[in-house]
Chain A
Amino acid sequence: MSRFFRSGDDSSSESSSDEEELYSEEEEAEKAVVESEEEDSEDEDEDEDGSGEDSSDEEGAKKTGASRFLRGESSESEDSDEDQPKTVKSAKDKRFAELESTIDAIEKKQKINDWGAVSNEFDKLIRQAVKMTERGQVPKFYIKAIVELEDAMNETISKQKVTPKKMNAISARGLNAVKQKIKKLKQDHQTEVDRYREDPLDFLASDEEEEEVAAPKPKKTKAEAYTERVEQQDDDGFETVIKGGRTLQFTPDSIFKHLRTILESRGKKNTDRLEQIRIMEKLHAVANTPYQTIRVLLTLVSARFDLGSGTSNAMPLEQWKAAEKELSTLFEVLEQNPDHIVLENAEEWDDDDKPPTLQPGEKHIKVPGSIVSYVERLDDELTRSLQTIDPHTSEYIERLTDEGALYNVIFRGLLYYETLGKELQIPQDSLNRIVMRRLEHVYFKPAQVVKILEENAWKPVPATVESVITPRGSITDATQLLNVLCNYLFINSEGIIRARAMLCQIYFLALHDEYYKARDMMLMSHLQETINSFDVQTQILYNRTLVQVGLCAFRKGLVYDAQNTLQEICGSGRQKELLAQGVMIQRFAQVSPEQERLEKQRQLPFHMHINLELLECVYLTCSMLLEIPLLAQTGSSPDIKKRVISKTYRRMLEYHERQIFTGPPENTRDHVMQASRALAAGEWKKAINFVHSIKIWELMPNTEEIKTMLSKQIQEEGLRTYLFTYAPFYDTLAVSTLSSMFELDDRKVASIVSKMISHEELAAALDQVTSTVIFRKGVELSRLQSLALTLSDKAAALIETNERTLEQRTQGTANAFDRRGGQNQRGGRGGGQKTGRGGARTGGTGQRQAGGTQFTGGVLGGAVRG
């Protein structure tokens, strides 16, 4: 109803019109009061304009009657068109309009990054504004424009810093000019700017009030000002009557008419959604047949969802709660009236006057609507709101409690679809989707929590309703529930949903320490080969699952497997991004706002996060246990130095060793690094101390067990490292000395030494009689010898690569070399097929960046495919 709105018309910026909308109704209420007061205080010459419009607006409103709230853009602009010939636009108004259009232009130019043009427009704006400010009046939207422009400018500048691409000269100059001017302007209007910064909405609201103060002033120009006023008042008075009377209109009969009008206005600009919701709430109260209730509820819930339809902002809390409640009510109504069903593909009922009745031969009255979409939407909205809330506040926890309610809704939805499915053909897809949602709320939780969720979910369900997939009472523990849900999806779904179900189950198994099951499933799924072709969400889930499997391996004490599994994610240095637990700052690549928004949307809510510090700690510890002996082993001969298990770890270690002064360890990384140094020097006790003093172990269940496991590993690896490092300096070494040095029993020491000898890592032999290790002398190779060895290795590798290349080029059909060496040269008999398959497999793993195939049992999954 404000002037800017009208003159700005369609082209006026989106944001301002939104704000405008919000205020328009409050304004109206105020208007009656304000305007009556205003009469005495008018003293300026400009007049009438606003009031004239107001009245015409009101008239328009009267004409359209009930659909007053639905008045779209068209009626609005029509209004102003009518006004224009009638009222002579005051100079001030003109200036306002000019100002508005200039701001508009600025915004447009700014969007296409044409700062040269922005600068020109901005000059114009300043000139126009100066005229107005001379009258002692700073338009609020002018301030707003300045602030917005400043923001945009800052953003551009900061972006400019990170992109290598240069802006063109004109733009750059323009940008600088704008920067200077804004700086100056800001000083002039410091207070206003500050106020706006503090609370833009509030500022603009006060703006409205002030405008109202100003608005009646123009009314004076017309002679009939007074009468107008009276009329105006009358109008207002009349309107309230209407408002009062309107409640009377909400009769059960008119429900459909209301709904229709609401539905028609959906998606149009300027529809006041809140008001619509209010109407529908009233409609819901008066609805007396199940059909009406269902229709109203369906429309109401979707209207509520429309409120949060912006891409970035979440739905307001109370709206969410209301929607949740209404969905529950809907389920209740549907349960009580089994003859009414909601179906996606039901036909619209066009006749508003009489509701559909049961036709003979038909069992159900079908109402169009999609329960599953509502449930999904509700879920998404909760996630969205959790994304925006700071996770360290109590607000987050409060919000999180709503998840229970949400789970109930999902569960009820599932039950509903199941009961429907008994009698009717419903698309399997909807059922799959809803089962998937349920699964997604369960899979990352510990068993106890799931149990509570389940129990709560069953409580409100009437005893008559039964679930086929998960019968009441039969599912007592979470593992079973997961199994049942996943198996259902394995059988009934395909593609992404099936893959997701599989990942969820693996995640759950890994979380509950079922390492081997999880690993085997992971391998059997063959997802590591196809995961690249899935959507990002699923890839994230895959990464999460992979990490969880790695952590599980670590808890089991399988250091090698843990390191291998985590390598892909943790070695990349982009854990945050890969697990969707935070946006990484891109150093080199420019991220478009669109991309950034998408990325933000993908972020997982905090309660689903995997602790990154713990992850890093586990990864580094594993790397330490593998790398330190390796470093000690390769230390003496420079030729095999190439073998690196974890580049990340090596880099950190090198950095740490370069430091001239190392203080006491502060963070996890420091602890592991210092432990590594101690371990490398053979001081295993110190290493254990360092590792044990890492605080984050507390987050693991069974902290003590893990610490004991780590001590054991460090002892053994310490022994190995010691042997590698100091072997050249000994002739013989008593086993008992070693065992006392590393506090291991003789048998263990002997076994470790034997293993090293047997694998030819150590040039030594055991003397059983005296129980000593005898180190062989003269095994060091001369430079020429080691080079010759390297050369032969490389030659072998070359042949291997050549063979593989040829195989890939010919898809393994052209020839049949047995890559298993010259032992069984059976010629081409069947060998071609075998190697062909092998080639295909290795090819597949090459592309995949994830470490699934690095599992020791990499071939395991091949059994199923054969």
Chain B
Amino acid sequence: MADYDLLPKLLPFLDRHLIFPLLEHSAGRIPEDADDTALRPITKAKYELLKSTNMTDFVGNLQAELEGLDEPPAEFDEKRQKVIQRLEQFEESTSKLIDLLGREDVVGNLRSDKVANLEFLKNDHDVTIEMVNALYDFGNFQYSCGNYGAAADLLYQFRVLSTDNDKVAAATWGKLASEILTTNWEASVEELNKVKESIDTKLFSNPLAQLQQRTWLIHWGLFPLFNDDKARDQLLELFFSPAYINTVQTSSPWILRYLTAAVITGRNRTRNSGQHQKQLKDIIRIVKQEAYEYTDPITDFIRALYVDFDFEEAQRQLSLAEEVCRSDFFLLAAADTFVDCARHLISESYCKIHARIDIKDLSARLGLGQDDGEKWIVNLIRDTRVDAKIDYKEGTVVMNHPPSSVYQQVIERTKGGFFRTQVLTAAVAR
């Protein structure tokens, strides 16, 4: 399974603080009874990761663990003091502004125009630009200390006031990270959209930076994608938009694993099955296209099932894919759903092609026992309204494929025509 571990590939595109849960996860995967030598590299990695942050206590403990000491070395105490000192310093420098922003009458006077706001604060309350910038620095510092909630608040306030585009963009990223780390998914999706907009508009003339930042955004977006059900549709749509799917293809094909998994597991969730079909088609096309650059059991599964129509291979890949899912930080929770949905996909496409199927064989294909298999098939027939009957004596399922009626086809093809024509006429008339 180590071959399919994506951690090294993901790391360059994540923030230190975001990497930490991933490391924690891989540490958790090491069996309890394993000796320290297995755990040590990960602890070391954690230590290196967080060394430059201000989470002194934690880092000190890590160091102690590494060195085998009982308590953190003295230098960390010193550092801790410094951090606290600076914290106080920051608090002092921003207290006035925060205070102001807490007051009803001040906030009530703020408008949507940032410049005017600043002017107003300056004239009425002696707020300087330095004070606003102090908010940013303080937010940054809080983040570095691990106080993500506080950081998010500070950065939000900063963003309201600041006119410095670069810093606002940075603050948005910071807020996104903070929201992710406080597992505030709804807000994080909101931030994600803000970042996306700023990438689209601000970096319009710099395609390389756009590509880079989009890659980051996609990686960061994985957190809400697999943790928040509500955000999923929206995020998937974002990921499948041309700009982002291109980014995946160009700079980070490994994301295809997550996309594939998300699409497969999204099978019975989406209200809109047309959308799901389309996404499935897209992902098949892209997986096929990128096969030379990236494959893992999950993409191989899709490929075997939909490109090669090799059901045996699909079955083999499915069992591999299950393992991969169980060891992946993001997919862990979705592993069962994934297997379930994948089985559905296999049987769907199997039934579509076959006219008569041996139940035993199909159960084997799905990785189930015969009784389970039969139950599964009955459920399937019920759920998906496949026109099929089980012949008990023979132990087979007989499918009935009605040939698609020509009338139906014509209706299908002309369905959207009227609406589109209307739109067209409206557009011409305008």
CB within 8 Å of B: which residues of A? 516, 524, 747, 750-751, 754-755, 757-758, 763, 765-770, 774, 776, 778-779, 781, 785, 788-789, 792-793, 795-796, 799, 802-803, 806, 810, 814-815, 817, 820-825, 834, 837-838, 856-857, 859-866
Contact = CB atoms under 8 A, between A and B. Distances in A.
B11 interface: no
Contacts of B275: 823-824
Interface of B: 200, 204, 207-208, 210-211, 214, 241-243, 245-247, 249-251, 272, 274-275, 278, 289, 292-293, 308-310, 312, 349, 352-358, 361, 394, 396, 399, 401, 403, 406, 409-410, 413-417, 419-421, 423-424, 426-428, 430
Contacts of A820: 278
A795 B243 contact: no
B64 to A, nearest CB: 45
A754 B309 contact: yes
A781 B272 CA distance: 32
Contacts of A857: 249, 289
Main secondary structure on chain B at its contact with chain A? helix
A267 to B, nearest CB: 48
B399 A765 contact: yes
A776 B413 contact: no
Given A754-B309, A822-B415, A769 B289 contact: no
A758 B352 contact: yes
A803 B420 contact: yes
7 contacts: A765-B399, A767-B356, A768-B356, A795-B417, A799-B424, A802-B424, A864-B246
Nearest to B391: A769
Contacts of A776: 401, 403
Given A803-B424, A837-B242, A862-B246, 9 more contacts: A750-B309, A758-B309, A768-B357, A770-B356, A815-B426, A862-B242, A862-B243, A863-B251, A866-B207
Contacts of B426: 815
Contacts of A750: 309
B417 A796 contact: yes
A837 B204 CA distance: 13
Contacts of B293: 516
Contacts of B406: 781, 785, 788-789
A775 to B, nearest CB: 10
A609 B366 CA distance: 55
A859 B417 CA distance: 27
A785 B409 CA distance: 10
Contacts of A758: 309, 349, 352-353
B409 A856 contact: no
A861 B308 CA distance: 27
* Centre residue among B200, B241, B308, B349 by max chain A CB count within 10 A: B308
Nearest to A857: B289
B413 A863 contact: no
A767 B401 CA distance: 12
A859 B246 contact: yes
Contacts of A866: 200, 204, 207, 210-211, 214, 243, 246
Contact of A860 (B246, B274, B312, B427): B246
Contacts of B243: 862-863, 866
Contacts of B419: 822, 825
Contact of A856 (B289, B354, B414): B289
B414 A834 contact: no
B211 A769 contact: no
Contact of A751 (B310, B354, B355, B420): B310
Nearest to A825: B419
B310 A765 contact: no
A334 B428 CA distance: 72
Contact of B427 (A747, A806, A822): A806
B355 to A, nearest CB: 4
Pick the 9 closest A-B CB pairs, nearest first.
A863-B246, A765-B355, A754-B309, A815-B427, A863-B250, A792-B413, A822-B416, A823-B274, A785-B406
B250 A757 contact: no
A858 to B, nearest CB: 10
Contacts of B246: 859-864, 866
Contacts of A768: 354, 356-358, 361
A796 B242 contact: no
Contacts of B214: 866
A751 B304 CA distance: 10
Nearest to B312: A747
Contacts of B312: 747
B410 A765 contact: no
B207 A767 contact: no
A447 to B, nearest CB: 21
Contacts of A862: 242-243, 246
A788 B410 contact: yes
B407 to A, nearest CB: 8
B352 A799 contact: no
Contacts of A865: 207
A747 B308 CA distance: 11
Nearest to B352: A758
B414 A766 contact: no
Given A768-B356, A862-B243, A866-B207, A792 B403 contact: no
A747 B251 CA distance: 36
B292 A516 contact: yes
Contacts of A863: 211, 243, 246-247, 249-251
A820 B282 CA distance: 12
A770 B274 CA distance: 35
Contacts of A769: 356-358, 394, 396
* Centre residue among B204, B309, B415, B424 by max chain A CB count within 10 A: B309
Contacts of B245: 859
Contacts of A814: 427, 430
